[in-house]
Chain A
């Protein structure tokens, strides 16, 4: 590896402005430039670290772009079959009720193949945190239509754009689970601006703390981008997300505990 000249003079503790959480590993993330996954990983790792929960955390990773989450966050992680993370997490939490248990899933995993597991884990009020990254597309397999793909949005399996009549309309899973008595805290956030990152982190922190109360499922949707799948630059994708995704998936709390 080459070294940037003079870098040792700069990298000193007194010059530190920002550093990654200790709970993020040294592994280089496989996410595309501009993708929201890395940011969500970071704030999740920060919350676990700040609350001192590393030894009490068990995560469940999905099938999708974040399948390798276990390479990046330094906590015990089970990698679940496609869509089954809520079932896997159900058993983990039931058998280790003192632990903090979370799932991390994309829209294909959570809202298509895993719809039953999602609804039923929320309906039983499993005392887990479900993180739902919604970018309206299957990223890992190369940009196919997802249940959350917007009407008219092009993908490799909706090349002329999604047609509601034949392909269905965007499935608002977060709205659905918010109606279930089993959910305790349901919110929709994003990580495309520093302000939104802070809000999302606050939401995650709340959800982690709620788990100690044993009141039910906490469900956080993070509307995110997929520059590669959407065939846009990161900047374009964030702008498009704001203009096109947010009207369909408006940010904000859908269900908050009565405190």
Chain B
């Protein structure tokens, strides 16, 4: 079982397999949207998960996420895929309750490999305090795994990616660069330590950051995945009709991320994200490798939290004090949009 290199079976890496944002919007543009007033976050918004209001103080949060192998070890792949799928619930301020497996495996795949993928998923769902209630599996040449997750949230405390207010401080809770390191690993160009650090980050639930975040004066949140830091930041700015200034130098990076970018080991998703967002991004004076890292798809990235300025310091202090949140750094701020590009990246 040790010889199986799962990532060799996948074309794209993790969230890099995501269909580009522009493509998606176009695909959905002429499909009529059902209007149900209880569906308070749905198809027509580019948010992390759908939200269905059951009563004044209770709503369901639903999401679904799966991708081809991002790690060679099946347990690690299962755990990362599950962590990533659960993340959308946390990004909305919710708590996951029930999950369903989504799985595709090649017919010849040894059963112990399949078992390990599932074990990774079950353990993460258990750590999230939720249960796996079933799922669906099919045969497919390229393995895929993920979850459909349902969680609960108080609709009055729901956090969308559209609530940011000018003046807010943006806090990010993981080290950036998982997409770069994963791509390098696929080419055998990342060290074992670099891969281990990236995998540990991708397997860290955003639960802990979420649990701290909901105790603070937070206006918006999103998890950073396939559209990369700049793509998700742009969504947040557009959703709030605001502008955002990011401080490139503030980000904590995974070891190897910028080196990888400089060598040109960048996945197709980085170029897709660039095409989608670069018209709204001013990154003049920032080194290309850093901008590439900011455009690169993240897999199971952290939470990007828009917090009231007078609570920003307390939030970062609490996130750091928790001990299970990988990092907590103020990476930018929300500004009024006065024309021009919505995203400005400073320094490096």
Are A and B part of the same complex? no
Q: Which residues of A contact B (CB under 8 A)?
A: none
